[in-house]
Structure 1
Amino acid sequence: MINDTIINAERELYLTLLTIAETQPIAYDWLALLPNWLTAIKDKRNYAHAPAYQASVARLPTISADSVDLNGAAITINAQLSNSERKQTLALLKQLMPWRKGPFYIGKQIGNDESGISIDTEWHSDWKWERVAPHLSPLKGRRVLDVGGGSGYHGWRMAGAGAETVIIVDPSCLFYHQFMAIRHFVGNADNYRTHYIPVPLEALPASSDQGSQLFDMVFSMGVLYHRQSPFEHLQQLRGQLIKGGELVLETLVIDGDANTVLVPHDRYAQMNNVYFLPSVDALVGWLKKVGFKEVRCVDVDVTTIEEQRATEWMTYQSLSDFLDPNDCTKTIEGYPAPKRATIIAKR
């Protein structure tokens, strides 16, 4: 069951890529692959829950938003919800749990009376954005790629900051349909500047080892440590940038000198897919090694249990369960507790 929201969103993505292809022919390669990408994410043979996710999005009530705010802490759809609409929307959005990146708000906010739906996600993604945003070049009029963008929270914030086009790539079937649920309520309020392609970075076409070079800015936040080959990931990010384009890289780091890199033996903070945690100096060296210039660290921040925690919308274990109960500076495995750095560099 696919409703007009998904059909419209995918059509607008096609039209956006078609427009880009008029001046950047490599985008035709994206267009050639797009039907397979969009079919695969809805195929229950690939994703058992895909039909249920599609049904949840399709059954969301049609609500006319008075306004949409992409610049506040929560992506906010200001709309009047009847009691039945609120109950229906709440039940359907809960079927798309767990919600990890946000927050989002749907409904009216009048004084202290919040009769809408507050999607209180596991992560306060707005905190990360507030740390990163002051250091960015202006996004107005720029074409942006958000790698590993999850449910799309940061992509919406990029559009709110004036980006001309935002393309989110993430292979998660759940995140794709969470994005479509929010798109259902946002409608065309962003003039369809925010798009989602459900594939990993490495699936994107490249005309050569130089990549597609389609984007003014590329974001990779919370992805690098999940890559078995961090240099390959950095090269792929660089390949998506135009000459002089800007990379925003946010990842887990540890303290140490330019030669310090932690390779967890098994799990890190209970994650079994964490491979490399460099020091800031080592990470800067990696970026320079693959050809980035003007590499600078703009923020280092320890992740707190207030920023990442279990909520009504993500009821599984979260950061507090992954730290040593007797020493919050260490993970449960004895490694340094999560610390994140943001690096900005240019191609």
Structure 2
Amino acid sequence: MTINWFNDFYKHIADSPLSHWLEVLPAQVAQWQQAQLHGDFAKWVKLLNKLPDTKPSIINLKDRVEIGSQNDIDEYTQRQIAGLMKQFMPWRKGPFHIHGVHIDTEWRSDWKWDRVKPHIADLTDRYVLDIGCGSGYHMWRMLGENAKMVVGADPTQLFLIQFQAIKHFLPHANVHLMPIGVEHLPELNTFDTVFSMGVLYHRKSPIDFLYQLKQQLRPGGELVLETLVVEGDEQTVLMAGERYAQMRNVWYLPSTDALKVWMSRVGFKNIRVVDVDQTRLEEQRATEWMTNQSLKDFLDPNDINKTIEGYPAPLRAVLIAEK
């Protein structure tokens, strides 16, 4: 199967500060295409191709991700969009509003964006990288803040399909998702802003990961890091057992003070904690677009301040720093 989704991106960066990425990226993407794809990937691509072409009268990426109005299309087309989009479940990060179809995702990612946005540098005309971007919700919001180009990196194939499903309705937007992990990024040293939200605790080596984030930024560029933390001092780091909140791939949960020490040792400057927030049941929950278990199933039914394993319930912090 030949995928041509990435050719526009190659053209866009050919005359940009990111042009040196072309030395390795096309070969990496070609290797990805030749690798074992998800069993449903070919089916997903066929379903993507069935999405109707529309002319959205509304494009709002500033206040939410809204592309098109219900009045732009007839009822049959709206049902077609909803039916096709549901074939790409589970939808975890959002919400999205496409021609009156409300994709009510598991996470209210807009709430996270509202906590992050007041503290970051103005994104106008900036090259922005979102590492571990998922289906790309926050990338659209970054574009809504007038970023020059937004690039996401995430190897999960379903997330790429979901991103392409949204981009189908706004195909010329300068936002792109590359299906690669952070470990495959070269030292680009180019992006004005790098976001990493909800990734650090999934990495076996958080220090190496922080170095990888730093290597993507230009000198003076800004890192926006959002991650799970625990309360404590500079020495406090929780390493959970086999599972944390039912997740198998959680490694280190530092305190914010310990995380600041890590970031300082890696060479980040002007490190500050701008938000700490315990995840609420209203922010992460099952919906008709994500019908699996969600946060309430992962917490102690007798004490929502603890996970089902007895650890502190998810506490998320946002830290900002410069290279």
TM, length-normalised to structure 2: 0.96
Q: Is the contact between residue 75 and residue 103 of structure 1 (CA under 8 Å) also seen in structure 2?
A: no
Of residues 170, 181, 200, the one that matches 1:200 is 181
Structure-to-structure mapping, 1:193-272, within 5 angstroms = 193-205=174-186, 211-272=187-248
Which amino acid is 2:307 matched to? T
Of residues 99, 105, 117, the one that matches 1:133 is 117
Change (3 A) 1:162 1:25: closer
Of residues 13, 16, 34, the one that matches 2:12 is 16
Q: Return 5+ residue gaps in structure 2 as ranges.
A: none
2:144 pairs with 1:155: no
SS at match of 1:33: helix
Shift of 1:76: 3.4
State, as a whole percentage, how many aligned pairs show the same letter. Answer: 49
Task: Name 1:278's counterpart in structure 2.
Answer: 254
Larger mean CA deviation between 31-40 and 243-252 belongs to 31-40
2:103 pairs with 1:97: no
Task: Name 2:33's counterpart in structure 1.
Answer: 39
Shift of 1:27: 2.0
Q: Is the contact between residue 245 and residue 299 of structure 2 (CA under 8 Å) also seen in structure 1?
A: yes
SS at match of 1:99: coil
Q: Is the contact between residue 75 and residue 156 of structure 1 (CA under 8 Å) also seen in structure 2?
A: no
Change (3 A) 1:332 1:89: same
Q: Is the contact between residue 65 and residue 140 of structure 2 (CA under 8 Å) also seen in structure 1?
A: no
Shift of 1:34: 5.0
Q: Is the contact between residue 37 and residue 199 of structure 1 (CA under 8 Å) also seen in structure 2?
A: no
Change (3 A) 1:27 1:331: same
Which amino acid is 1:134 matched to? P
Which amino acid is 1:12 matched to? D
SS at match of 1:321: helix
- What CA distance in whole angstroms lies between the structure 1 residues aligned with 2:91 and 2:176? 19
Measured on the aligned residues, the alpha-carbon RMSD in Å equals 1.6
| Count of aligned pairs | 322
SS at match of 2:242: coil
Shift of 1:30: 3.8
Name segments (4+ residues, structure 1) moved above 6 Å.
none
TM, length-normalised to structure 1: 0.89
Deviations 1:270-322 (A, max 9, x none): 00000000000000000001000000000000000100000000000000000
- What CA distance in whole angstroms lies between the structure 2 residues aligned with 1:30 and 1:103? 34
